[in-house]
Amino acid sequence: MSAPPPIGALRHRVTLEGPVDLYDGLGGFTRDFAPLAQIWARVETQSVNEDFVEQRREQLRRSAVTIRWRSDVMSQMRFDFRGRKLLIKGVVDGDERRRFLICQCEEIA
């Protein structure tokens, strides 16, 4: 595993958002997100792919977002970064020392 980033590398301000399911009374629900915290992060784009989703061209961007360690971050949460919504797909404590979390995120644009 690579060395952890220096604290100065966490230079982007992001909002951590958690899912909130609003039930519609007919057995279904609508998922919305509520802000939980504003934190400093390092945002790195790893790959960009283009594909057809529901008969239209979509661009899928994968990013790694590194933040200070928190015990409450999990998949299905998301980051709001400059209006971009980065859905967390996986969370890893790279060196198992509870210093940093690396969140693998996807954004569909």
Going by pLDDT thresholds of 50, 70 and 90, the confidence category of residue 59 is confident
What sign does the dihedral 84-82-32-40 (CA atoms) show? Answer: positive
pLDDT score at 58: 85
pLDDT score at 4: 73
Q: Is the pLDDT of residue 56 over 80?
A: yes
pLDDT score at 80: 97
Going by pLDDT thresholds of 50, 70 and 90, the confidence category of residue 109 is confident
Locate the domains of the chain by residue range: 7-108
pLDDT score at 2: 61
DSSP H/E element including 38:
strand 29-53
pLDDT score at 45: 93
pLDDT of 16-45, one tens digit each? 999 999 998 888 999 999 999 999 999 999
- In this structure, are residues 91 and 77 in contact, taking their beta carbons and an 8 Å threshold? no
Tell me, which fold does domain 7-108 have in CATH? Thrombin, subunit H (2.40.10)
- In this structure, are residues 75 and 60 in contact, taking their beta carbons and an 8 Å threshold? no
